[in-house]
Amino acid sequence: MSEIFDLHLQHGSIKAYPKYKHAHYYLRSVYPMFFEPRRATTAKILEVGVAKGGSLRAMRDYFPNAKLVGIDIENHLEGDLSRITFVQGSQNDVEFMTSVANEHGPFDFIIEDGSHLFDDQLITTQCMLPALKVGGIYFVEDVNPNNEGEKLFEHVKEYYVRWKMNQYSVFFFPWLLAFQRNT
Ligand SMILES: C[S@@+](CC[C@H](N)C(=O)[O-])C[C@H]1O[C@@H](n2cnc3c(N)ncnc32)[C@H](O)[C@@H]1O
C-alpha cells in the first residue's frame, strides 16, 4: 500500500475514486518515488484543479512542513484548510497564472489536475515551469487517450528544443508527464 494513496482515499480525493485506476497508479507508484525523499524538506506545493480539496488536504497531511496553494475556476472547497491557500481563476488565463507564480512561487512540486484540455495544459505548463524551484517537479495528470490531453506528449517531444527543455528533465509515464527543473 501507499501512504499517499491512503491519504487521498481518506480525504475523498477524486484521484482515489475507484473508477480512476490510472490515477491510483500515480499515487501508488510514481508520486512516492518523487515525494518520499523530499517529504520533510518540501515547503511549497501548487495544485491546479482542486475540486473539493481532497488532494490538497492529503498532500498537506503527507508533507508536514509544506504550504499548499490551490487554483480552481470554481470554489467547492470543503473541510479543514489549514496550511492551504486557495486562489480562484482559470488555468488558461496567462495574467492570472503569472500573478500566482509571482505571488506564491517558487514551488517544490506543481500538480496539474485541471481541465485536461490540451490548450489549457500548454498555457499552464508554459506559465508555471519557470515557477519551479531548481530541482522542483511539475506533473501533468491525465495525459490520456480519453481526452485531447495526449497531444501534450507529442508536443513536448516536438518542442523540446524550442522550449529550452535542456533546462528540464522530462519523464513520460502512462497518462502522466513530469518535468524536473535542472537549472
Ligand atoms: C478532476 S477535478 C480535480 C480533482 C482534485 N485534484 C482531486 O483529486 O480531488 C478538476 C478540477 O479542475 C477544475 N477546472 C476545470 N477547468 C479549469 C480551468 N480552466 N482553470 C482552473 N480549474 C479548472 C474543475 O473546476 C475541477 O474542480
Domains of the chain: 3-181 (3.40.50.150)
Q: Between these two residues, 107 and 159, which has the higher pLDDT value?
A: 107
Which strands make up the sheet holding 84-88, listed edge to edge?
A: 84-88, 67-72, 44-48, 107-112, 132-141, 176-181, 168-173
Q: Is the CB of 123 under 6 A from ligand 1?
A: no
Task: Please compute the mean of the pLDDT values over residues 30-46 and round it to a whole number.
Answer: 97
Between the CA of 49 and the centroid of ligand 1 the distance, in Å, is 3
Residue 53 and residue 74 in contact, taking contact as beta carbons nearer than 8 Å: no
Q: Is 112 near ligand 1, meaning CB less than 6 Å away?
A: no
Assigned C-alpha cell, 68: 499548499
Out of 96, 100, 115, 146, mutate this one to test ligand 1's pocket (max ligand atoms within 8 Å of CB): namely 115
Beta carbon of 54 within 6 Å of any ligand 1 atom: yes
Q: How far apart are CA 96 and CA 87, in angstroms?
A: 10
pLDDT category at 12 given cuts 50, 70, 90 is: very high
- Window from 24-38, 106-120, 168-182 with minimum mean pLDDT: 168-182
Residue with cell 491519504: 7
Q: Is 116 a catalytic residue?
A: yes
CA distance 97 to 122: 12
